[in-house]
């Protein structure tokens, strides 16, 4: 089985396909939930029994700083979804042993989010009925345009993609970061950002408890604190999201909103790790 992938195949209107295993599993009484929203990359689950295909997807996404979720079979994909991972897009190969493709689509539709886009792929034209339950079929090898087209054809996310043309705010304000870097040594800078990220995760847990208790004032208070702390260290994206939460209070789907904060913290952490400002395991 072969898969020809260009370097930017997985770019969709400037938004990359990615997954984050962290999600809300750190928070009490809330299911893990990954969302595709403005300012948040797509979460994609690649299902393929071919090691090379999975590795190519993983390497391409990793090269851009993201993490892909992959599954070796239909049963493995159902296990991953059953453990709380909610993909925005599932890209599943049809020529795999085990679970029939139509049954996989049906069970993914039930187990994942109703808005998840299910894309089938294969190196040959599918047999009649093989793509039943999927939103679209891609013939390998496929290009970036083909993948983008397939997602845009699926009404469940096309309106979200169309609204995401504007570039999201940077995770880090470089001017503020440069001033802090000039004002303190590397150890102090590391401590500062580690404290900031730890504080964000702690306050998100408090916000989650406040939302479960319908305590809007506490929810807004913690969001305000995140906004202020992140603004001081130039964590622009976190500051923007926290400001939204402070202004609107407890949303209808607070799980998704808090998950967005956590994912933004992971993006910032990744940038700081890449710059060797903090270590991978320095954030609790």
pLDDT in tens, the chain (284 residues): 333 333 333 333 333 333 333 333 433 333 333 333 333 467 788 999 988 788 877 665 555 454 578 999 999 999 999 888 888 888 899 989 989 999 999 999 888 777 788 999 998 899 998 999 999 998 987 765 676 677 777 744 444 444 443 434 578 898 888 988 888 898 889 999 999 999 999 999 999 999 999 999 999 999 999 999 898 899 999 999 999 999 999 998 999 999 999 999 999 998 888 888 876 554 44
d(CA 176, CA 135): 45
Please give the pLDDT value at position 280: 57
Structure tokens at 211: 């939302």
Largest CA distance in the chain: 66
Q: Provide the angle, in degrees to the nearest 10, between the axes of the packed helices 186-212 and 174-183.
A: 130
| Structural contact between residues 24 and 36, judged by C-beta atoms closer than 8 angstroms | no
DSSP character at residue 26: T
Q: Provide the angle, in degrees to the nearest 10, between the axes of the packed helices 101-111 and 74-82.
A: 10
CA dihedral angle for residue 257, residue 262, residue 263, residue 268, rounded to 10 degrees: 130
pTM confidence score: 0.45
């Amino acid at each position: 089985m072969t898969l020809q992938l260009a370097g930017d195949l997985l770019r969709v209107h400037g938004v990359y396909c990615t997954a984050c295993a962290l999600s809300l599993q750190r928070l009490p009484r809330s299911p893990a939930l990954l969302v595709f929203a403005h300012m948040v990359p797509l979460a994609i689950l690649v299902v393929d029994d071919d090691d090379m295909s999975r590795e190519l997807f993983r390497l391409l996404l990793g090269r851009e700083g993201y993490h892909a979720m992959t599954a070796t079979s239909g049963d493995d994909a159902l296990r991953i979804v059953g453990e709380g991972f909610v993909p925005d897009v599932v890209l599943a190969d049809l020529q795999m042993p085990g679970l029939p493709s139509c049954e996989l689509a049906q069970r993914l539709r039930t187990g994942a989010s109703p808005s998840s886009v299910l894309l089938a792929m294969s190196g040959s034209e599918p047999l009649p009925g093989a793509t039943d339950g999927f939103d679209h079929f891609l013939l390998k090898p496929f290009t970036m345009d083909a993948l983008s087209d397939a997602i845009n054809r699926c009404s469940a996310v096309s309106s979200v993609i169309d609204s995401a043309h504007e570039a999201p705010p940077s995770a880090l304000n470089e001017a503020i970061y440069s001033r802090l870097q000039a004002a303190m040594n590397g150890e102090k800078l590391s401590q500062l950002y580690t404290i900031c990220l730890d504080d964000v995760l702690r306050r998100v847990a408090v916000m989650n408890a406040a939302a479960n208790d319908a305590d809007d004032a506490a929810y807004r208070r913690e969001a305000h604190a995140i906004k202020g702390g992140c603004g001081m260290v130039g964590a622009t994206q976190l500051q923007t999201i926290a400001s939204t939460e402070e202004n609107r209070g407890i949303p209808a789907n607070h799980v998704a909103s808090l998950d967005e904060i956590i994912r933004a913290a992971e993006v910032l952490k990744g940038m700081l790790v890449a710059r060797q400002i903090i270590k991978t395991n320095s954030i609790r």
